[in-house]
Structure 1
């Protein structure tokens, strides 16, 4: 039977008839699904080679149908599933991304880092997710993706991811409620709603910001937009402009902000970021960008716990005191 199918596949590939390839793809897929429970790995591999040849040039509609069929089969052809998972079309990739157990972790992490929100949303619904994948989903996903992955009871999160989610929950009541329901959140986030009950008291007000260059940046919407501007400037090496914006948000001298950015000790930057309401993810990205930073997991944990144990009110009080001395 397999030999006969191989001959048909080779002939169809050579003839270039899309309708014939589509018909053979349906025939082979039906044959595989009917026998999947009784096939050994070698037999599955034979189907894998046949289906891959037929499915790769197929139209997205046919590939989407195939993805839905194979997504729930425990011994689905590995190469075919992988090919479908990497497809840029969400209709093709999402069924296997959300449900197939045949995709290896490295591929899931890679796809999470390169595809859009529909793909990320499918990944967030997987039956099990480890920290490597959820770290990317939290960092790259929009509000819907983050809520989906937090609602996924089998998803595991790193402390850094929990910290980022806690920062985002300040302005997302639905996400806050979901985080509160998770029994696995770190100890210092157990009283999450209490800590965020009055965010307006501590959260700095948005200000219009203008850089020293001819390009003006107006971050009037909220602190999150201002944070994105600063992180983008730091990524480009524009330390002076990033410091200028942060100084204006915090209402401190620019040179003081520059000193915090340049200091070998992370404490000044930690205080400054907490003062202006920037999140843990941005703080970590900047620390990692500093030259010669080689911190152990224990050291990162210490910075993380210190940052989240520090209230915005305490940070602002300290920064204002230092700013008065700096001006004097």
Structure 2
């Protein structure tokens, strides 16, 4: 492609001198707006022409105009790559919309800018709808506390093990970062345990400082409860219980919700459907049943299953699906099945009545 063809949208020879400044700004705005309207219909060659023109124009205009061009380019699915890279590497007032929204930039582009530029550029990148582990690794390494907070609070940010450990370490002295991390659904149990330890240490320190020694001694127990809750939410967050409940209700209308259906769901490792089936069979709450079937201690489920007349075959199958596939060892499963065999229906019902009384009292 000749240089004349590349720049046929603009006669650059007419843009010299002071008189050309206003014309440059006007042209940059018009070309950017025109491309934004027609980008999906442009051929690759036409995109190249726009790229050549815009790339030259953005170097001729003030920051306010470059920001306008960046706004126009930021939401496009295809666009002038060189121009977009140029704008992304501009001052943050110009670069922000590109760094936050443009899907045209590659991970390599983002990493180069994060490593080259300061915290303001890293903070903008941290706001993107989706971030790969490679990008978040650089943001966590390069960024300040505000950048790390933004990464931690971004549900679309994929975190590597190294980044999580780094964030948890920084959270030791920052309660806001602790809160953002505690709200994430992708922390493994070891990460949760580390985070809760850090948080409980800070709480314990403050209680001792204020002379509330007895309350400080209760922090470990509260930390264990918090860790368990976060861990349960981590596992349960993988399943769509609302959709499962709808599917099971359709089966119920046909009279097909029974222990045979429950065993079928167990054999197919359809945990959410198994939970919804049990909840319907025992007239219980899906959330309550799901937490019962995710705990590392299966005793409450064993008692419930015995009280409701489930068979040992069904219980054994259910102990090996969903989160329990990973959270229960073979020894724990065997002990749970043995406990189920020893337990009588009357004993199970008494235990459930006792638990319910404690909850209500």
CA contact (8 A) 1:134 1:149 kept: yes
Q: Counterparts of 2:128 and 2:203 in 1: how far apart (Å)?
A: 38
| TM superposition shift of 1:183 | 2.0
The corresponding residue for 2:111 is 109
Q: Counterparts of 2:105 and 2:6 in 1: how far apart (Å)?
A: 29
Q: Where do 5+ consecutive residues of structure 1 fail to align? A: 204-328
The corresponding residue for 2:171 is 169
Spell out the pairing of 1:1-328 with structure 2 (5 A cutoff).
6=8, 8-13=10-15, 17-87=20-90, 89-199=91-201
Q: Counterparts of 1:187 and 1:179 in 2: how far apart (Å)?
A: 13
| TM superposition shift of 1:194 | 3.0
What is the TM-score with the length of structure 1 in the denominator?
0.57
SS in 2 for 1:182: coil
Q: Counterparts of 2:53 and 2:46 in 1: how far apart (Å)?
A: 11
The corresponding residue for 2:329 is none
Q: How many residues align?
A: 201
1:24-49 C-alpha deviation (Å, 9 max, x unpaired): 21221222122122112221111111
CA contact (8 A) 1:75 1:102 kept: yes
Q: Which has the higher contact order (CA 8 A, sep 6+)?
A: 1
SS in 2 for 1:128: coil
Q: Counterparts of 1:7 and 1:156 in 2: how far apart (Å)?
A: 42
1:129-174 C-alpha deviation (Å, 9 max, x unpaired): 1111111111221222111111111111111110011111111111
| TM superposition shift of 1:9 | 3.1
| TM superposition shift of 1:66 | 0.8
> Given the superposition, is the C-alpha separation of residues 191 and 4 from structure 1 closer, same or farther in structure 2, using an over 3 Å criterion?
closer
Q: Counterparts of 1:200 and 1:185 in 2: how far apart (Å)?
A: 20
CA contact (8 A) 1:71 1:95 kept: yes
CA contact (8 A) 2:75 2:101 kept: yes
The corresponding residue for 1:278 is none
| TM superposition shift of 1:200 | 5.5
> Given the superposition, is the C-alpha separation of residues 196 and 44 from structure 1 closer, same or farther in structure 2, using an over 3 Å criterion?
same
CA contact (8 A) 1:170 1:176 kept: yes
Q: Where do 5+ consecutive residues of structure 2 fail to align? A: 206-361
Larger radius of gyration: 2
